[in-house]
Amino acid sequence: MNTQNKKIVNLIADIGGTNIRIAQADAQSEAKYTNIETYQCAKFSSLADVIALYIESKNIAEAGINACLAIACPTDNDIISMTNLPWQFSQKELIKTLNLNSLSMINDYTAIAMAIPLLNDSQKVKIGGGEAVAGKPISVCGPGTGLGVANLIPITIGDKSQWHCVSGEGGHVDFAPVGELEIAVLRYLNDIKERVSYEQLLSGYGIEQIYQSLANKGDDEEEAPLSAQEISKRGIEKTCIICRQTMLIFCQALGGFAGNLALIMNSQGGVYIAGGIVPRFIDFLKASKFRERFESKGRLSHITQQAPTYVITEAQPGLLGAAAYILQQ
């Protein structure tokens, strides 16, 4: 078949440590992607095997395939090594093996950031005041296994306006406590950690570490360690005083960190909270001092008071962002 006459397929994937979701980007679809399939990574020996199965099952092997794959690890080098899977591969070899027209490997938080301009009101929840200013920078952070961070900058190429993602390791900046309780948490972590970053609090294991610092401080220490899920559940349901205090500190620290992002990037387009933790307790976040801490930036508080904050509730932000990325190319 003549290459010029081939049907073009934009294949996208969101690759995690447990599951990989594969779909096809479609500018005409309201969701921006179609034909989604989910596979368990543990059942495959390589990424190429999973994608090859998808290509075969969708009968698109004869198409010209452009791929954009979002993955939770660095993507700057040809060799990709996944953190939570024994998968290692060469991007160049993957193109050859799967007979791809092109391949874009992007970080998972680049994908989540790229999804933000496509979100409608049903895919996000606003927390507090502020109003987004069109065409201004947008920031996103996400407590999960770690603390992901990315920023979107509007750019114009020729007569076309689009978004450029600036990613990095913002979750690893130094934690700055506010108030006696947070100072006590920092002192506890300083005794057991070489360095304390925001990720040491704003993540799943961060919730556990906040709890441990408070439990070790008082007389109500739990007999057995609690998981982040147990701590958040007990805290939100008000069945444990220490768990509740843990979650309040988590929300306040998250507000302070998100406000720092707004100051650094002048994020008048909004600051968004992603990740698998916060969407589980949005009402608790609203009732906490999250927004107060977000806005409380001294003489520059007018910047954070203007910037809105949202929690992303879209179930597949990685796929949506990968679709946005490849359709923008």
pTM for the full predicted model: 0.89
pLDDT at 237 over 80: yes
pLDDT at 151 over 90: yes
| Burial grade of 95 (CB within 10 A; 0-12, 13-18, 19 or more) | middle
Bridge partners of 70? 14, 106
Mean pLDDT confidence for 79-99: 91
**Tokens at residue 279, please?**
């969407």
Mean pLDDT confidence for 74-91: 89
Please give the pLDDT value at position 175: 97
Contact between residue 271 and residue 149 where contact means Cβ atoms under 8 Å apart: no
pLDDT-derived band at 319, boundaries 50, 70, 90: very high
Please give the pLDDT value at position 31: 84
Please give the pLDDT value at position 6: 82
3-state SS of 79-125 is EEECCCCCCEEEHHHHHHHHCCCEEEEEEHHHHHHHHHHHCCHHHEE
Q: What is the CATH number of domain 120-313?
A: 3.40.367.20
Q: What tens digit of pLDDT does each residue of 241-253 get?
A: 999 999 999 999 9
pLDDT at 4 over 80: no
Which superfamily does 3-106 belong to? ATPase, nucleotide binding domain (3.30.420.40)
Give percent above pLDDT 90 in the chain.
Answer: 82
Domain ranges of the chain: 3-106, 120-313
Which residues sit in the known binding site?
A: 13-18
Mean pLDDT confidence for 6-18: 91
Which residues sit in the known binding site for ATP?
A: 13-18
pLDDT at 1 over 60: no
Q: What tens digit of pLDDT does each residue of 187-228 get?
A: 999 999 999 999 999 999 999 999 999 998 654 545 568 999
Fold equal for 3-106 and 120-313:
no
Q: What tens digit of pLDDT does each residue of 22-76 get?
A: 999 998 888 899 999 999 999 999 999 999 999 999 999 999 999 999 998 888 8
217 or 112: which leads in pLDDT:
112
Please give the pLDDT value at position 3: 52
Mean residue pLDDT across the chain: 93
